[in-house]
Chains A and B, each alone.
Chain A
Amino acid sequence: NAGVTQTPKFQVLKTGQSMTLQCAQDMNHEYMSWYRQDPGMGLRLIHYSVGAGITDQGEVPNGYNVSRSTTEDFPLRLLSAAPSQTSVYFCASSYGGSMYNEQFFGPGTRLTVL
């Protein structure tokens, strides 16, 4: 199993540009989530999904959209990038349709917004 994969690994955007961060998992996990990691802030939950067709907001959802059309994929969209969205983004998944179980993390996407 590849586990949780994320693309791209690095991305530089200009303010106002849009892009999609890709996340996929091959473990048939029902629960998937997106976090952002900022220095001194730990990880903060952006959006999560408990199964295909179901998404919900986390702690810091503003400026981000998600969708979950399949069990495997959970893309994160930045509609109009801002410098405050410069961060490292991690996707995670867990089994059982619940975030209560152990979460498996992807390798991260380092995003810089100029």
Chain B
Amino acid sequence: AQSVSQHNHHVILSEAASLELGCNYSYGGTVNLFWYVQYPGQHLQLLLKYFSGDPLVKGIKGFEAEFIKSKFSFNLRKPSVQWSDTAEYFCAVNARGGGADGLTFGKGTHLIIQP
């Protein structure tokens, strides 16, 4: 079964700082990779996804992520964060052909942006 590890559970940054949230997964086969965001009191929304092709993917709100297959990583980045980026961020992996293993989420990173 696949698993997902998010390196930081809580991150506090100041506005305009750069952001990188780590995500590593364990699965030897082909995967689809996702980052979801959950703003306070809201449901999960997709930030970006990687299925195949260019390993550098761009998502909404200025976020991007890079898939590094050799490192089993899919880190999320943003050059300059805003107060409105305060939210919970989840990395998720889906092993193609994984059957009931389906979509596996990391435990989440709670990001707080200070004005």
Residue numbers of A with Cβ under 8 A of B are 33, 35, 40-45, 48, 56-59, 90, 92, 99-100, 102-108
Task: Tell me whether A90 and B102 are in contact in the complex, defined as CB-CB below 8 angstroms, given that A43-B90, A100-B32, A102-B34 are known contacts.
Answer: no
The one of B100, B103, B106 that contacts A103, using a Cβ cutoff of 8 Å: B103
The answer to whether B11 has its CB under 8 Å from any CB of chain A is no
The one of A33, A41, A108 that contacts B102, using a Cβ cutoff of 8 Å: A33
- Chain A: minimal CB distance from B33 (Å): 11
Given pairs A92-B44, A100-B32, A103-B103, 20 additional interface contacts (CB within 8 A):
A40-B9, A42-B106, A42-B107, A42-B108, A43-B44, A43-B92, A43-B105, A44-B105, A45-B102, A45-B103, A48-B102, A99-B94, A99-B102, A99-B103, A102-B34, A102-B46, A103-B46, A105-B45, A107-B42, A107-B43
Which 6 pairs of residues, A with B, have the shortest CB-CB distance? Answer: A42-B105, A42-B107, A105-B44, A43-B105, A105-B43, A107-B43
The answer to whether B7 has its CB under 8 Å from any CB of chain A is no
B102 / chain A contacts, CB cutoff of 8 Å: 33, 45, 48, 58, 99
Main secondary structure of the interface of B (DSSP, over half): strand
Cα distance A102–B49 in the bound complex, in angstroms: 8
Cα distance A113–B45 in the bound complex, in angstroms: 27
Residue numbers of B with Cβ under 8 A of A are 4, 9, 32, 34, 36, 42-46, 49, 90, 92, 94, 96, 100, 102-108
Say yes or no: A100 contacts B94, CB within 8 Å: yes
B100 / chain A contacts, CB cutoff of 8 Å: 48, 56-58
B108 / chain A contacts, CB cutoff of 8 Å: 40, 42
Cα distance A69–B100 in the bound complex, in angstroms: 20
Cα distance A107–B43 in the bound complex, in angstroms: 5
- Chain B: minimal CB distance from A54 (Å): 13
Task: Across the interface, name the chain A residue whose C-beta is closest to B106.
Answer: A42
A107 / chain B contacts, CB cutoff of 8 Å: 42-43
A33, A43, A107: which has the most chain B beta carbons within 10 Å?
A43
